[in-house]
Structure 1
Amino acid sequence: MTDSSRTPEDARAAFQTCKSPDARERVQFYDSWAENYEKDHCLMSYSAPHLGIDFLLDNFSGSHEAARVLDVACGSGWIAKLMVELGFKHFVGVDGSQGMLALAAKTGLYEELKLALLGTEPLPAQTGAFDVVIIAGALDPGFAPVSVVRELCHAAKPGGLVCMSRGDHSGAAGQQYKKELERELQQMQEEGLWSQVGLKHTDRYMEDPHLDPERVQELQQEQRFISGTAYLYKKAIH
């Protein structure tokens, strides 16, 4: 059950803990965090799901009711809960945490839910099967490696859309990850695997979870946030 007494300080501490370099420890943390996951993300004004979905909708011309959606790193089912309100009905979810998948199952929105740790296990998705592939927030160091984006592309139908939203987290590792990610996205475009539909930027992706708690109150509201980007690609039709 969600802890209604949680504070932004609790949420910030959880975000600082979730990026364990040890995959097993990270999964165990997410299993224990599952019940408070959405609460903590809201406390940090986390916008990755809305950023990705809004950008996707601006560019999706197919039938919402008929579209098959692959929700990668689906967590508690947040993406599906937002997209079902927009008329989407067919969801398959993948996550590395059994605790998160248990919450996603409770939504009743997923036709299938599959356990897989991105980067260490193959993405358990049929090649060329999805009209929409979406991942929100997991493309960061300590989570999904850059190589996962090729698997996202493989899962999309020819002409299907792949939507990825992520934050520009501070630190050398985050900056290096972004460079490697954008290099891979460009390389895949040069290989003819997909074409870029566009980018959507926000200055208020989420409150920076790595700020010193003693400094947070001294900062103006806009100084507390990190920026973020949604990337949208269309799979090539061969």
Structure 2
Amino acid sequence: MSDSSRTLDDLRTFLKSSAGVELEQRMKFYDSWAETYEMDHKIMNYRAPHQTVEFLFDNFSGRPEQVQVLDVACGSGLVANMMVELGFKHFVGVDGSQGMLDQAAKTGLYKELKLALLGTEPLPAETGMFDVVMIVGALRDGFVPVSVIRELCLAAKPGGYICMSRNDLKSESGNKYKVSMEKELQLMEEEELWSHVTTKEMDKYMIDMYDNCEDMQNEKYLYGTMYLYRKSLN
């Protein structure tokens, strides 16, 4: 079967093969997926990178061409590709899959790409270095733990932006993750590590790949939430 003939049902079967595996095994799965990742996400109508980049830009003050961006869980480089269209030029990427980093390298957009299994290894970023820290799609159970959010804040410059988006999985683990994450966001605000800029619901994040709808015209969608914070100056 050629890549161009892949269907939603094919992708559902493919994705289910990674369900319930340990994080290191999941990264090996992403290694094997890297070459067709972007094509497959078009089939899944994956809109999170576009929506999150727009969300940042609508609330951003500064000159994009001067900004240092840390793209966490960068995958194949979808976020950087969209940010370049808005004038951003300077990117460092981090991901847990070497295969994805190899694809990101092909874009020619990143001055550095770093391999790290977030949550088990420290975020490989210099403290206070970045004007913008982005993480799209990876804040979920079994991928990037809530504890990493403090590392994202640490990597930002004083006054820098931390922009995050996550899909709202309607499952017990998904709900627990959301509650834990939003508790941490609030706690960090109370500790004056950052201030809340804005939060926005994400419309039609992507097709729900775990819903077995057979009617292509009535596919169910996942929704999500985008969060923007600004690191404290002190």
Instruction: State the TM-score bracket (shorter-chain normalisation).
Output: over 0.9
Residue 77 (structure 1) aligned with residue 77 (structure 2): yes
1:36 shift after superposition: 1.3
* 2:233 corresponds to: 237
Confirm whether residue 33 of structure 1 aligns to residue 33 of structure 2.
yes
The one-character-per-residue Cα deviations of 1:108-159 (angstroms, maximum 9, x if unpaired) are: 0000000001101000000110000000000000100000100000000011
Q: Which residue of 1 aligns with 2:94?
A: 94
Query: In the alignment, residue 227 of structure 1 is paired with which amino acid?
Result: Y
Check 1:103–1:158 CA distance in 2 against 1; reply closer, same or farther (3 A cut): same
* 1:218 Cα deviation from its structure 2 partner: 8.2
* Counterpart in the other structure of 1:217: 215
Partners of 1:36 and 1:195 lie apart in 2 by 38
Distance (Å, rounded) in 2 between the aligned partners of 1:169 and 1:69: 28
Q: In structure 2, the residue corresponding to 1:192 is in which secondary structure?
A: coil
Contact 1:19 1:142 in 2 (8 A): no
Take 1:164 and 1:51, find their aligned partners in 2: how far apart are those partners? 11
TM-score, structure 1 as length reference: 0.94
Distance, in Å, in 1 between the alignment partners of 2:210 and 2:154 is 34
Percent of residue pairs bearing the same amino acid type = 59
Q: Are 1:226 and 2:222 matched, yes or no? A: yes
8 Å contact kept, 1:30–1:100: yes
User: What's the TM-score, normalizing by structure 2?
Assistant: 0.95
> Do structure 1's residue 133 and structure 2's residue 136 form an aligned pair?
no
> 1:32, 1:141 → 2: CA distance?
21
Distance (Å, rounded) in 2 between the aligned partners of 1:74 and 1:218 = 29
AA of the residue aligned to 1:149: I
| RMSD, aligned CA | 1.5
Per-residue deviation at 1:27?
Answer: 1.1
The number of aligned residues is: 233
Distance apart, 1:18 and its partner CA: 3.9
Looking at structure 2, the residues matched to 67 and 96 of structure 1 have their Cα atoms a distance apart, in angstroms, of: 24
CA offset at residue 219 of structure 1?
7.5
AA aligned opposite 1:91: F
Work out whether residues 37 and 76 of structure 1, in 8 Å CA contact, stay in contact via their aligned partners in 2: yes
Distance 1:209 1:123 in 2: 29
Q: Which residue of 2 aligns with 1:181?
A: 181
The DSSP-based 3-state class of the residue aligned with 1:65 is helix
SS of the equivalent of 2:5 reads coil
Looking at structure 1, the residues matched to 14 and 72 of structure 2 have their Cα atoms a distance apart, in angstroms, of 21
What are structure 2's unaligned runs of at least 5 residues?
none
